[in-house]
Amino acid sequence: MSTATETGTENSLERLAPEALKTARRLSGTILLNGKLTGASTDKMIDVIHPGNLQSIGQVPQCGATDVNAAVEAADTALTSWRRVPARERGRMLQKAADAIEAEAELVAQVLALDTGNALRTQARPETASSYDLLRMFGGLAGELKGETVPNMSPDVLHYSTRDPIGVIAGIIPWNAPLFLFMAKIAPAITAGNTIVIKSAEQAPICVLFLAEIINRFLPPGVLNVISGYGEECGKPLCEHPTVRKVTFTGSLPVGQAIAAYAAPKLATVTLELGGKNPSIVMPDADLDLAIPGIIDGMRYTRQGQACTAGSRVFVHKDIYDEVVKGVVARLGDIKLGNPLDEATDMGAIISSEQFDRTKKYMDIARNTPGMRVLFGGEEPTDPYLRGGNFYPPTLLDGLNLDNKVCQDEIFGPVATVLPFGSFDEMIEQANDTPFGLSANLWTRDLSRALEYVERIEAGFVQVNQCAAPRSNVSYGGIKMSGLGKEYALDSMLHHFTSSKTVLINRGTPAPGV
Ligand code: NAI
Ligand code: MG
C-alpha cells in the first residue's frame, strides 16, 4: 500500500473541493419539508464531519417527533393529488430530475465524498452515476404499474386487479452508499404514486439533502421530504407514525428487527436490507486472472469494506492457496489510501470514529488469537495526513477458525479473512454457517460445480466468476437474517410500493330505452 497524498495545504478541502464545501455550508441546518429547504423545529444540531481530516463541513437538524409529524403531514397532503397524476407523467418528472442530477454530477459526487470519506474517483462518481441511472430506470418503468384481468368468473362479470399507491412511505437509510440507497427508496416509491419521508443517516446527511433539493425542483411540494436525526429520536417516531403505511430500511440487523417491530402493531409492511458475512470462494480450477482481482473487488476494499456485499470470508482451495494469497497480497499493495478528494486516491476514510474503532476492535480480537497471521495491512498508517483521519489499510488475515468473531460478525471495515478448504461439501457447509444470507461469489471453470453451488449456497445475490456491485435492474436482497424483500428492479416497485385492489364488476342488463 502506498499513500496518494502528502501533508500540507494541498490536502485542504478548501483547495480540493471549494464548491462542494460551499454547497455543504449552504445546505447546513436545513431539512426538505413540503417542497422547501427550511429550518427544523429544533435548534439542536448534528455536526457533519469529513472522515478524511475530521473537519466539520456543516450541521443538520437533530429532528424529533415534531419534525416527523410535520414531514408526514406534508407527505399525506401531497398524496391526494400525486397519486392521481398519470403514472407516466410522474415517471417523466423523475426522468427530468435524473437529467438534472447528471448535469450537476461532479458537484454531487464531491459533496458525497466530503460527507462519506469515500474516494471521489473510485466510489463517489460511480455512486452518483448509478443513482441517477436508478431514478431514470424507475421513471421509465411507470407504465408497468399494471394490474391483471382474470378470465371467466361469469360472462357478465369483469374481474380485474389494480396496482395502487400504498400511501405515505418512510425510508430510513444508512451512510455507506447514501445516494444510491436514498434513490433505491424514493425512485420506486414516488414513481408508484406514493409520497415519502426519508430520514438520512446522521453520519452522511448533506449529500442526501443536496440530491433531494435537485429532485424536488421537478416534483410538487410534499411528495419528497427529507429529515435528519438519530435513530431512536427521529427514526422510531417516523416508523411508528400512524399515517406511515410502509417502511423501507437499509442498515444493521438489530435496527431492522426494531423497525419490523415498530411496524407490526399497525400491520404496515417493511422492506429490510441488512448485513452480510459473505463468502468469496475460489475453486482449484478457477481462472485466477479473474479470481485474484475479484477477491479484492468483492471485498469492496476501495469502499473501506463498508458494503453489505463485502466478501469478507475468502474460501480458497488448499491446492492453490499460496498462489492466490500471494496474488491478492501483491495487488493490495497497489491500492492507494489517501485524501478522498484526490484523483490519485483509490481508498478513502472510514465514515466515523465509531466505525473506525469497530475495525480496530476486531483487529484486537484477531491479534489475540494464536495462529492468526496478518497477510497484509493490519496497522494504522504513519503518514501525518492519514493519522489525522479515519484511515485504515486494506487488511487480509488468515489462521482464524470459522467460529472466531472476526469470521462471524459483519465488521463493515477493510478486514477480510482467508480460509483454506479441501472438500467442496465441507466448504459449502462452512460458507452457509452464518445467520446472514446476502451475497456470495464463486470462481470456477466447472459448470457442474458452479450450478451445484448456486443451488446449495444460502444467499439472495449469487455470482459466478465475478462480483459486481448491485445496480439498476438487478434484483437485490438477502435471505435468512439479511433481510426481507428485493430492491433495485421492477419487481421491487411492484411488490414493495404498491397495494392491490381486486375488482368485480357485474355489468347487469343494459339500461332500457337506448
Ligand atoms: P444502523 O442500522 O444503526 O443505522 C442505519 C440507519 O438506521 C441510520 O439512519 C440510523 O439513524 C437509523 N436508526 C438507528 N436506530 C434506529 C431506530 N431505533 N429506529 C429507526 N431508525 C434507526 O447502522 P450503524 O449504527 O450506522 O452501523 C452499525 C453496523 O450496521 C455497521 O457496522 C454494519 O455492520 C451495519 N450496517 C449495514 C448496512 C448495510 O448496508 N446493510 C449499512 C449501515 C450499517
Ligand atoms: Mg446504529
Nearest CA to ligand 1 atom 29: 252
Cell of 222: 410534499
Q: What is the pLDDT of residues 277-332, one digit of tens each?
A: 999 999 999 999 999 999 999 999 999 999 999 999 999 999 999 999 999 999 99
Residue 457: domain span: 279-464
Q: Are residues 172 and 308 in the same domain?
A: no
Residue 59 to residue 212: CA distance in whole angstroms = 17
Residue 314 to residue 293: CA distance in whole angstroms = 13
Which atom of ligand 1 is nearest to 273's Cα?
41
- We report the CATH number of the domain holding residue 194 as 3.40.605.10
Domain assignment of residue 187, yes or no: yes
Domain assignment of residue 86, yes or no: yes
Report CA(295)–ligand 2 centroid distance (Å): 28
SS3 225: strand
CB 280 within 8 A of CB 441: yes
Domain assignment of residue 390, yes or no: yes
Which atom of ligand 1 is nearest to 199's Cα?
9
Domain assignment of residue 477, yes or no: no
Q: Are residues 215 and 287 in the same domain?
A: no
Q: What is the pLDDT of residues 113-127, one digit of tens each?
A: 999 999 999 999 999
Would you state the pLDDT for residue 514? 77
Report CA(385)–ligand 1 centroid distance (Å): 29
Q: Is 337 left (phi over 0), alpha (psi -120 to 50) or beta?
A: beta
CB of 172 sitting under 6 A from ligand 1: yes
CB hemisphere CA count around 74 (13 angstroms): 24
Domain assignment of residue 40, yes or no: yes
Average pLDDT score over the chain: 97
Relative to beta strand 269-273, strand 195-199 is unpaired
Would you state the pLDDT for residue 6? 47
Q: Which of the residues 63, 207, 239, 308 is marked catalytic?
A: 308
Residue whose C-alpha cell reads 399507491 in the numeric block = 165
Integer-rounded Cα radius of gyration of the chain: 24
Q: Are residues 305 and 357 in the same domain?
A: yes
Domain assignment of residue 506, yes or no: no
Residue 205 to residue 402: CA distance in whole angstroms = 36
Q: What is the pLDDT of residues 197-229, one digit of tens each?
A: 999 999 999 999 999 999 999 999 999 999 999
Would you state the pLDDT for residue 375? 98
Report CA(372)–ligand 2 centroid distance (Å): 29
Domain assignment of residue 377, yes or no: yes
Q: Are residues 257 and 108 in the same domain?
A: yes
Q: Are residues 384 and 488 in the same domain?
A: no
Q: Are residues 232 and 348 in the same domain?
A: no
Query: Catalytic site residue 308?
Result: yes
Residue 150 to residue 160: CA distance in whole angstroms = 6
**Given pLDDT bands bounded at 50, 70 and 90, which one contains residue 5?**
very low
Ligand nearest to the CA of 487: 1
Q: Are residues 179 and 232 in the same domain?
A: yes
Domain assignment of residue 166, yes or no: yes
Domain count, the chain: 2
Q: What is the pLDDT of residues 38-47, one digit of tens each?
A: 999 999 999 9
CB of 252 sitting under 6 A from ligand 1: yes
Q: Are residues 196 and 286 in the same domain?
A: no
Q: 264: buried, middle or exposed (CB in 10 Å: 19+, 13-18, 0-12)?
A: exposed
Query: Catalytic site residue 207?
Result: no
Q: Are residues 63 and 191 in the same domain?
A: yes
Q: Are residues 390 and 403 in the same domain?
A: yes
CB 27 within 8 A of CB 45: no
Residue 395 to residue 374: CA distance in whole angstroms = 8
Q: Are residues 151 and 49 in the same domain?
A: yes
DSSP 468: P
User: Dihedral (C-alpha) 345, 412, 279, 188: value to the nearest 10 degrees?
Assistant: -90
Q: Are residues 239 and 388 in the same domain?
A: no
